[in-house]
Structure 1
Amino acid sequence: MIEVYDRVIDGIPLLEVVDSALKDEKLPTVVFYHGWTNVKESVLVHGFEIAKKGFRTLLPEALYHGARNDGIPLTDERLLDFWTIIQESVDEYPVLMDYYIKAGLTDPNRLGVTGLSMGGITTCALLATYPEIKVGDCLMGSPDAVGFTQQVLAEAEKQGMVLPDDINEQLQELEALSLAENPEKIAGRPVHFWHGTKDETVPYAPTFDFYQRIQDEEFAKQVSFSTTEDGHKVPYTISQETASFFRNNL
């Protein structure tokens, strides 16, 4: 039976989803990151599907979201916090892994990451940062940290947002987290992208263009891409596809 445990690890709230018969064993572990303005509970269906394949699945709460909200609504006015949130998730990833590995609950040689929307962007940033991650699956996210941010901020500026004077310097700092800027960091790992063609929130074309650009490279020999005619929402069939991807590659 799949069970859900509400945990707080070093101040990081998360849900742990695992088969109760396996919960005390050293398991391959997948971390699933939720999207902008969502909460960890909103991605439980994905956690269940992955856990059903024999994985320990961790669903962390992103900074300023859910149990970590600071009382300020996550409106478009907080878009400048977007990368602060992702950077916090990147910094917290080894904290979570250190806890579970030392507890004998996670196999350090079988680590995977995935997420949707902001969580998919986080997934790409993690792949660009931690070579010990073996497998990644980006759901309607973007591997292009700089390009995506430029697009979002341009739209926000049209709506009247005043950007900081040092915005270009801030964008340069994102290059280290960008697979588009550093595609060789994929380093032959199995990485899958799913994106709906009708997505207007995180556009489909730049992600597919990235895939086409790298697919013949040696470092991208295990990169794959699938698509459906969906907007900015992950269908249940893609939740199942994600779980199967980890079962087959991790």
Structure 2
Amino acid sequence: MSTIFQTRTIAGVPLLLAMPDDAAGPLPAVLWFHGFGVDKETHRKELRQLAEAGFVAVGVDAAGHGARRLPDLDARQAAPHAQALRTMIELAWRTADEVPALVRGLVEEGLADGGRIGVTGVSMGGYVVYAAVLTEPAIRAAVSILGSPEWPEGDSPHRHLDGFRRTALLSVTAERDENVPPAAARELHRRLAEAEPDSAMHRYVELPGAVHLMSEEHWNRAMDETLRWLSLHLR
């Protein structure tokens, strides 16, 4: 099976679409959100993996990134940690707020099955995932890799436990991650398990010894977990 890539703009959002060349009818769609400072092209390999697994993979340029990159984004990223985090969270919220219109656009154009929508993100993209689950009820499956549901300012996603109970949520963290410590995601899943002890809708994976810029071995494990989870809940 080969993969077709298309660059599109839907609902005002620049996208890189990857889909199987033999796709027939709307497929389950997975929106992929990148990290702080990069863009939708960064994860072309992962988009191809998703397409090969039978999904329409939708690489999203986050707000202020890629084709709509802020002119001072480099300076904002290089700012002191608290200031850079504030910028990242602001852009993560803006990106998550675009998800409902983006999902509608994908469905209206016949590119996605509206009953099988998933989201995945890495680092800043993992933050976007936690917010997107709260803003778009159509999301059936979500994977946050190296993200946090607990934000230092504003209406932090971790305060809305009920919003995560309707979505199949996988969180993958790195045990030794100093950029995004795993404690907040671990605690969210503890609370979800406490609320619904027998639910198979939530899974937490903490990669032993892994750091934020993880090794190839750890990244492959994260992707294996991601593909299994999305296939289980969307296909």
TM-score (norm 1): 0.82
Matched, 1:34 2:63: no
8 Å CA contact 1:187–1:220 kept in 2: the answer is: no
Structure 2, unaligned runs of 5 or more: none
8 Å CA contact 1:188–1:219 kept in 2: the answer is: no
Give runs of aligned pairs for residues 222-241 of structure 1, distance below 5 A: 222-228=201-207, 229-233=209-213, 235-241=219-225
Q: Determine the structure 2 residue equivalent to 1:130.
A: 136
Q: How far off is 1:220 after superposition?
A: 8.1
8 Å CA contact 2:99–2:136 kept in 1: the answer is: no
Aligned partner of 2:109: which letter? A
Instruction: Select between 2-11 and 95-104 the one with higher mean Cα deviation.
Output: 2-11
Q: Determine the structure 2 residue equivalent to 1:16.
A: 17
Q: Provide closer, same or farther for how the CA distance between residues 219 and 107 of structure 1 changes in structure 2, counting only shifts above 3 A.
A: farther
Give runs of aligned pairs for residues 192-203 of structure 1, distance below 5 A: 192-203=170-181
Q: How far off is 1:246 after superposition?
A: 0.5
Note the alpha carbon deviations across 1:17-63, whole angstroms, 9 max, x for none.
Answer: 111111x6211111010011121111222212222111101011112
Q: Determine the structure 2 residue equivalent to 1:82.
A: 88
8 Å CA contact 1:7–1:16 kept in 2: the answer is: yes
Aligned length: 221
The higher radius of gyration belongs to: 1
SS in 1 for 2:98: helix
Q: CA RMSD in A?
A: 1.9
Matched, 1:246 2:224: no
Matched, 1:56 2:62: no
8 Å CA contact 1:26–1:104 kept in 2: the answer is: yes
8 Å CA contact 2:62–2:95 kept in 1: the answer is: yes
Give runs of aligned pairs for residues 59-70 of structure 1, distance below 5 A: 59-70=59-70
Q: Determine the structure 1 residue equivalent to 2:155.
A: 174
Note the alpha carbon deviations across 1:93-147, whole angstroms, 9 max, x for none.
Answer: 12221221111221111111110111011000011222221111110101112xx
8 Å CA contact 1:8–1:14 kept in 2: the answer is: yes
Instruction: State the percentage of identical aligned residues.
Output: 25
Q: Provide closer, same or farther for how the CA distance between residues 209 and 5 of structure 1 changes in structure 2, counting only shifts above 3 A.
A: same
Aligned partner of 2:225: which letter? E
Instruction: Select between 58-67 and 68-77 the one with higher mean Cα deviation.
Output: 68-77
SS in 1 for 2:143: strand
Structure 1, unaligned runs of 5 or more: 150-170
Q: How far off is 1:227 after superposition?
A: 2.1
Q: Provide closer, same or farther for how the CA distance between residues 55 and 86 of structure 1 changes in structure 2, counting only shifts above 3 A.
A: same
Matched, 1:187 2:165: yes
8 Å CA contact 2:7–2:15 kept in 1: the answer is: yes
8 Å CA contact 1:16–1:59 kept in 2: the answer is: yes
Deviating above 6 A after TM superposition, structure 1's stretches of 4 or more consecutive aligned residues are: none
How far apart, CA to CA, are the structure 2 residues paired with 1:120 and 1:219?
A: 24
Q: Determine the structure 2 residue equivalent to 1:213.
A: 191
How far apart, CA to CA, are the structure 2 residues paired with 1:233 and 1:46?
A: 16
Q: How far off is 1:217 after superposition?
A: 1.4
Q: Provide closer, same or farther for how the CA distance between residues 96 and 219 of structure 1 changes in structure 2, counting only shifts above 3 A.
A: farther
Give runs of aligned pairs for residues 151-170 of structure 1, distance below 5 A: none
Q: Provide closer, same or farther for how the CA distance between residues 188 and 91 of structure 1 changes in structure 2, counting only shifts above 3 A.
A: closer
TM-score (norm 2): 0.87
Q: How far off is 1:230 after superposition?
A: 1.1
Aligned partner of 2:220: which letter? Y
Q: Determine the structure 1 residue equivalent to 2:6.
A: 5
8 Å CA contact 1:187–1:219 kept in 2: the answer is: no
SS in 1 for 2:104: helix
Q: Determine the structure 2 residue equivalent to 1:159.
A: none
Aligned partner of 1:88: which letter? R
How far apart, CA to CA, are the structure 2 residues paired with 1:105 and 1:213?
A: 36
Aligned partner of 1:210: which letter? L
